[in-house]
């Protein structure tokens, strides 16, 4: 028969064990919940096979729930990081998937719009493919083609926006980066979309480095910065009568 003191010691030990188990279970739950948290980045993160080029937050910039129409133009957000000490030239194109995939759209051209001919942050003052001034003041340069006598002909180049795109050929200095963000003056855009590009869809891209490394990726459609209204508002619904 156990004495009263023995029973009290046993009860105290049991209570301490229950408290330890409860604390362990609570701690395990907190760790598990923290482990499933994800960074708030909707774009694609990848890299070249040799790790020399890092691709970060690649995505089609969100515009509205309807997205972009077929044959239209869609802006792309992208950050490129050169991990080597040597300059690197990156070319971005688009081609249809070998196997037709629902929701994956291609483009006729990936180009640069709204800035200099080269989207490179390089200090090279004479990028390849740069255009001569539109009007140099010399009469001989203003006459091109058979319609030399028409003074309004030089204004013709300002036609569609797609015609002004420069090829997406980007030079990145060693240990540097090139970024294309929604607020930038110079944008990376996809023109001539093969189909409607809307939320839930992706854009097929090929990123090629001048050392021969190639990445075939799909840029997801971005998410809105704030929640989108689920229903149209009713005029005067918040007014007080």
Residue ranges of domains in the chain, CATH in brackets: 44-123+162-220 (2.60.40.1890)
Q: Which of 2-6, 86-90, 110-114 is predicted least confidently?
A: 2-6
Q: From CA 183, how far away is CA 180, in angstroms rounded?
A: 8
Higher pLDDT, 17 or 209: 209
Per-residue pLDDT tens digits for 56-78 = 999 999 999 999 999 999 999 99
Helices (runs of H) and strands (runs of E) counted in the chain:
1, 12
Question: Residues 6 or more apart from 92 whose CB is under 8 A from it?
Answer: 110, 168, 170, 188, 205, 206, 207, 208
HSE of 126, CA atoms in CB hemisphere, 13 A: 1
Residue 102 has pLDDT above 70, yes or no: yes
pLDDT, residue 222, reads 96
pLDDT, residue 11, reads 64
Q: From CA 147, how far away is CA 92, in angstroms rounded?
A: 37
pLDDT, residue 121, reads 40
Residue 196 has pLDDT above 90, yes or no: yes
Classified as helix, coil or strand, 196 is coil
pLDDT, residue 151, reads 47
Residue 48 has pLDDT above 90, yes or no: yes
pLDDT, residue 128, reads 37
Diameter of the chain measured on Cα atoms: 123
Question: Residues 6 or more apart from 129 whose CB is under 8 A from it?
Answer: 117, 118, 166, 167, 169
pLDDT, residue 41, reads 65
């Amino acid at each position: 028969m156990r004495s009263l003191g023995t029973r009290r010691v046993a009860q105290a030990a049991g209570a301490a064990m229950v408290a330890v188990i409860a604390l362990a279970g609570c701690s395990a739950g907190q760790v598990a919940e923290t482990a499933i948290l994800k960074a708030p980045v909707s774009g694609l993160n990848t890299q070249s096979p040799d790790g020399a080029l890092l691709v970060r937050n690649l995505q089609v910039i969100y515009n509205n729930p309807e997205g972009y129409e077929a044959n239209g133009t869609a802006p792309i957000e992208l950050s490129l990081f050169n991990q080597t000490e040597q300059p690197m030239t990156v070319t971005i194109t688009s081609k249809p998937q070998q196997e037709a995939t629902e929701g994956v759209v291609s483009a006729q051209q990936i180009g640069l719009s709204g800035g200099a001919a080269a989207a490179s942050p390089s200090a090279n003052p004479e990028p390849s493919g740069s255009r001569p001034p539109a009007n140099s003041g010399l009469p001989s340069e203003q006459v091109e083609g058979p319609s030399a006598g028409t003074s309004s002909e030089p204004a013709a180049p300002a036609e569609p926006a797609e015609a002004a795109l420069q090829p997406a050929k980007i030079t990145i200095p060693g240990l540097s980066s090139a970024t294309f963000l929604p607020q930038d003056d110079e944008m990376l855009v996809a023109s001539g979309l093969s189909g409607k590009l809307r939320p839930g869809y992706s854009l097929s891209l090929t990123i090629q480095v001048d050392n021969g490394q190639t990445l075939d990726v799909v840029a997801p459609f971005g998410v809105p910065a704030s929640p989108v209204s689920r229903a149209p508002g009713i005029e005067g619904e918040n007014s007080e009568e």
